[in-house]
């Protein structure tokens, strides 16, 4: 790559210049990582007007949530330039302008040739971290980490409080949600489920089929659908409806059309919260149940903002633990906990609305990033 004249990523004393951002994504959780990275790339372009170059190691994951993305890279797509890259290899930088900002999503290891560019040109360097409600994440947000070569890397900790790095949300989100028209549907409950594979789904279907009201389970994603196909047939009040994958741009409408959400990963998890629907989180499982601490931190934060009746809360937490392989309930316990949640659905829904209001009253992550860039200039 030929060196070019570098100007600061933001300067009040220099002529305006299009900020160049290099963004890197390792796809680990299929759609959570690329979902966040792609949403971030789009918002940096749309909201801040940055010139964004996104390097990713799994184009098929992006094409699942953005089906019209190009099949061969590098290529421009929706005003963002996409590049292919594999961990442990140099990134293709030919013809790419020198960055004003470099963002590594979820602590992916940057290629050595990118590290050389950082050492030479000193762009703003961010590690866009996994979402967490844990205290340490809030404390370390925007803290610099001095590297051995003198470079500074800042940790961007997405989170749920005004002191954190915030959540990714489009400027027109509330307008689109207000304009959404709920489709007509039959009596009963519509559950949208997008989760990881596991035996829990067969057990939950049996418990849901024993409930007194009609329930329609809209099952999204092959892991969940395959788990249900392997389960014994269910009768009773439950109707299982396979749900085709939709582009990320249409995902919110799927959530708005449902009454109750069961979601996985990070991007879907955040969108469920913005929707104001009651939800359960199928967190990405980690070895030695390390995900349990992260799960507990979130629900305790949620409960402080949206207090729930103790009986309802115990039922919610029991089912959350089983969903995330932290407990196994008896058939009777499972049916009883679901009955408690469904009997108290109006209160559960109001708690979800209270949490939604709390989040939507805050600024979003990209707005906070713009403020941070202004301070750091």
Residue 2 has pLDDT above 90, yes or no: no
How many whole angstroms separate alpha carbon 346 and alpha carbon 311? 14
What sign for the dihedral angle of Cα 275, 255, 345, 203? negative
**Residue 10 pLDDT class (50, 70, 90 cuts):** very low
CA–CA separation, 54 and 124 (whole Å): 16
Averaged pLDDT for residues 90-97: 96
Residue 254, number of CB atoms within 10 A of its CB = 20
The reported pLDDT for the residue numbered 16 is: 62
Binning pLDDT at 50, 70 and 90, where does residue 377 land?
low
Distance of CA 271 to the CA centre of its chain: 7
Token readout for 1 is 């790559």
Structure tokens at 190: 């519509």
Catalytic residue (choose from 29, 33, 252, 267): 33
Active-site entry in 43, 100, 266, 322: 266
β-pair partners for 125: 102
Least confident residue range of 168-177, 197-206, 282-291, 361-370: 282-291
Average pLDDT, the chain: 93
Percent of the chain with pLDDT over 90: 85
How far apart, in Å, are the Cα atoms of 281 and each of 196, 273, 315?
11, 10, 14
Q: Residue 90 catalytic? A: no
Confidence band for 235, pLDDT divided at 50, 70 and 90: confident
The pLDDT, as a whole number, for residue 30 is 67
- Whether pLDDT at 12 is above 70: no
Work out the average pLDDT over 257-266.
96
129 carries an active-site annotation: no
Give pLDDT, residue 360: 98
pLDDT at position 230, please? 84
Confidence label for 29 from pLDDT (cuts 50, 70 and 90): low
pLDDT the model gives residue 3: 33
> For residues 62 and 85, is the Cβ–Cβ distance under 8 A?
no
Average pLDDT (94-109) is: 94
Q: Which residue's entry shows tokens 């749920």?
A: 160
User: 35-59: string of b/e by CB count within 10 Å (b at 16+)?
Assistant: bbbbbbbbbbbbebebbbbbbbbbb
Look at residue 7 in the predicted model and tell me its pLDDT. Answer: 36
Backbone angles phi, psi at 83, to 5 degrees: -135, 145
Q: Are 255 and 272 in contact (CB under 8 A)?
A: yes
Q: Which of 8-17, 41-50, 182-191, 354-363 has the lowest mean pLDDT?
A: 8-17
Average pLDDT on 331-350 reads 98
Region 51-61: mean pLDDT is 96
User: ∠ CA(263), CA(264), CA(269), 5° rounding?
Assistant: 65
**Average of per-residue pLDDT across 221-242:** 91
Integer angstrom CA distances of residue 23 from 91, 323, 329: 11, 33, 43
Does the pTM exceed 0.75? yes
Closest CA to 245 of 68, 77, 69, 66: 66
Residue with tokens 């860039």: 373
């Amino acid at each position: 790559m030929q060196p070019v004249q570098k100007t600061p990523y933001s300067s009040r004393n220099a002529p305006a210049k299009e900020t160049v951002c290099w963004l890197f994504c390792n796809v680990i959780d299929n759609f959570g990582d690329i979902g966040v990275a792609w949403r971030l790339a789009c918002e940096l372009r749309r909201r801040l007007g940055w010139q964004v170059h996104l390097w990713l190691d799994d184009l098929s994951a992006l094409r699942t949530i953005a089906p019209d993305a190009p099949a061969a890279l590098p290529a421009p797509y929706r005003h963002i330039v996409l590049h292919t890259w594999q961990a442990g290899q140099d990134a293709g930088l030919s013809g790419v302008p020198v960055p004003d900002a470099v963002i590594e999503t979820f602590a992916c290891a940057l290629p050595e040739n990118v590290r050389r560019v950082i050492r030479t040109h000193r762009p703003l360097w961010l590690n866009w971290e996994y979402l967490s409600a844990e205290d340490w994440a809030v404390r370390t947000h925007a803290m610099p980490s001095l590297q051995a070569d003198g470079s500074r890397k800042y940790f961007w900790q997405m989170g749920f409080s005004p002191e954190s790095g915030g959540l990714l949300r489009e400027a027109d989100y509330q307008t689109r949600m207000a304009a959404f028209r709920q489709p007509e549907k039959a009596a009963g409950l519509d559950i949208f489920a997008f989760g990881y594979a596991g035996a829990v789904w067969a057990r939950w279907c049996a418990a849901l089929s024993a409930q007194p009201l009609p329930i329609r389970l809209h099952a999204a994603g092959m892991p969940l659908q395959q788990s249900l196909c392997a389960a014994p047939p269910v009768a009773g009040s439950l109707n299982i409806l396979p749900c085709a994958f939709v582009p990320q741009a249409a995902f919110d409408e799927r959530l708005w059309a449902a009454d109750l959400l069961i979601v996985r990963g990070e991007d879907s998890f955040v969108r469920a919260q913005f929707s104001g629907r009651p939800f359960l989180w199928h967190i990405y499982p980690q070895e030695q149940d390390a995900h349990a601490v992260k799960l507990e931190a979130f629900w305790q934060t949620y409960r402080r903002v949206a207090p729930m009746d103790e009986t309802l809360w115990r039922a919610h937490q029991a089912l959350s633990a089983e969903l995330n392989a932290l407990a196994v309930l008896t058939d009777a316990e499972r049916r009883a906990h679901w009955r408690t949640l469904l009997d108290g659905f109006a209160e559960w829904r109001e708690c979800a609305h209270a949490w939604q209001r709390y989040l939507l009253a805050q600024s979003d992550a990209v707005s906070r990033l713009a403020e941070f860039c202004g301070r750091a200039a």
